[in-house]
């Protein structure tokens, strides 16, 4: 038989429970589950303590970050190295995501985009990861009309090509069999004239008779200078009024005009000075006397007659 405890043997709390009939739950002595909000608040407070260095894993995390960074760097370096090898480049080259889907070519005037893509072997089968912009640029610049090409990849699947074409300023005659070749404003020969292309330019003749390469180079430089000055479109000597620029085997320059095809002998050298003199002479010759221009009676003009002197020979009767 269990012996009941006397009130004197009980604690104050136990006596209170017996007297007033409290239950354990009323005294908050049992464990209660936390609400979602309380759990969220506890996690937030935990993160706050860790951010100010109170978390126990702060030091370990600092130690792990450099290792992860080194590991990632190593993976990237290794992938880049393997990508340069044939087998791996082939593997990445087969990824459909990086196949070229759009090719844009700008700057075409004489040429056209389709022709240039075919000429430079640019296809939609190429892969953005393995195509070589330098090689494409080199192939394009071998085209007779392309002076400069720029290649730009637009990720993930676009290719932008911009070209600069040569601008012809004259035609160089290479004999009846070899036809004509275009000459730009810097004296550079480029494309051969094809059927149907523009022929409305001054014609350069006699260069095929110049044997010495240095004389030929000087002749082309003289032509470039003369055309540059004529392109300023002086009313007395515009570019469109120049019919032919001829060179003797010694490299002496002779000019023929469109409307008045008498020879104008420039000789060699001092092209700018002689051009300026010719401009002043033509201004006088275009003046009319008795309703007729003086230039209509000119037989030839010699710009190389004497130093600072021009000889104009006229056709007279009486």
Provide block-wise average pLDDT over 10 residues at a time, the chain (318 residues).
52 56 49 52 61 51 61 70 55 69 95 96 90 96 97 92 96 84 93 92 92 90 92 84 93 92 92 92 87 88 87 75
Same domain, 182 and 126: no
In a domain? residue 261: yes
pTM of the full predicted structure?
0.67
In a domain? residue 111: yes
CATH number of the domain residue 306 falls in:
3.40.50.11690
Same domain, 139 and 172: no
Same domain, 302 and 209: yes
Q: Where among 84, 117, 144 does a domain terminate?
A: 84
Measuring CA to CA, which residue among 175, 269, 246, 251 is closest to residue 214? 251
Give CA–CA dist 160/107, Å, rounded.
Answer: 11
Same domain, 194 and 282: yes
CATH number of the domain residue 153 falls in:
3.10.20.310
In a domain? residue 302: yes
Sheet-wide strand order for 298-306: 189-192, 180-184, 168-173, 203-205, 242-247, 253-257, 263-267, 298-306, 309-314
pLDDT in the model for residue 158: 92
Domain tally, the chain = 3
Measuring CA to CA, which residue among 174, 176, 125, 119 is closest to residue 146? 119
pLDDT in the model for residue 83: 57
In a domain? residue 99: yes
In a domain? residue 243: yes
Same domain, 172 and 306: yes
Give CA–CA dist 173/178, Å, rounded.
Answer: 8
Measuring CA to CA, which residue among 197, 241, 242 is closest to residue 223? 242
Q: Where among 138, 165, 192 does a domain terminate?
A: 165
Same domain, 114 and 186: no
Same domain, 153 and 131: yes
pLDDT in the model for residue 17: 53
Same domain, 208 and 296: yes
In a domain? residue 307: yes
Same domain, 275 and 209: yes
Same domain, 221 and 305: yes
In a domain? residue 129: yes
Q: Where among 147, 165, 183 does a domain terminate?
A: 165
Same domain, 302 and 219: yes
Same domain, 178 and 225: yes
Host domain of residue 265: 168-314
In a domain? residue 25: no
pLDDT in the model for residue 39: 52
């Amino acid at each position: 038989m269990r012996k009941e405890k006397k009130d004197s043997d009980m604690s104050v709390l136990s006596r209170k429970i017996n007297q007033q009939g409290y239950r354990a739950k009323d005294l908050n002595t049992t464990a209660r589950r936390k609400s979602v909000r309380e759990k969220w608040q506890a996690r937030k407070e935990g993160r706050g303590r860790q951010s100010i260095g109170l978390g126990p894993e702060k030091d370990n995390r600092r130690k792990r970050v450099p290792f992860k960074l080194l590991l990632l760097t190593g993976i990237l370096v290794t992938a880049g190295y393997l990508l340069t090898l044939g087998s791996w480049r082939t593997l990445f080259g087969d990824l459909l995501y990086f196949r070229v889907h759009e090719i844009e070519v700008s700057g075409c005037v004489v040429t056209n985009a389709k022709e240039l893509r075919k000429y430079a072997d640019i296809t939609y089968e190429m892969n953005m990861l393995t195509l070589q912009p330098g090689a494409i640029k080199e192939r394009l610049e071998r085209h007779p009309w392309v002076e400069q090409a720029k290649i730009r990849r637009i990720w993930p699947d676009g290719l932008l090509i911009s070209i600069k074409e040569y601008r012809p300023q004259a035609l160089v005659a290479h004999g009846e069999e070899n036809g004509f070749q275009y000459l730009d404003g810097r004296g550079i020969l480029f494309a051969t004239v094809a059927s149907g292309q523009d022929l409305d330019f001054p014609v350069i003749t006699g260069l095929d008779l110049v044997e010495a390469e240095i004389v030929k180079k000087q002749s082309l430089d003289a032509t470039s200078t003369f055309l540059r000055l004529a392109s300023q479109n002086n009313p007395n000597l515009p570019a469109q009024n120049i019919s032919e620029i001829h060179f003797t085997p010694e490299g002496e320059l002779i000019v023929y005009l469109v409307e008045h095809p008498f020879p104008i002998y420039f000789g060699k050298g001092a092209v700018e000075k002689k051009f300026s003199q010719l401009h002043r002479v033509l201004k006088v010759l275009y003046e009319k006397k008795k309703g007729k221009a003086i230039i209509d009676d000119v037989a030839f003009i010699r710009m190389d007659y004497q130093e600072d002197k021009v000889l104009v020979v006229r056709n007279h009767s009486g």
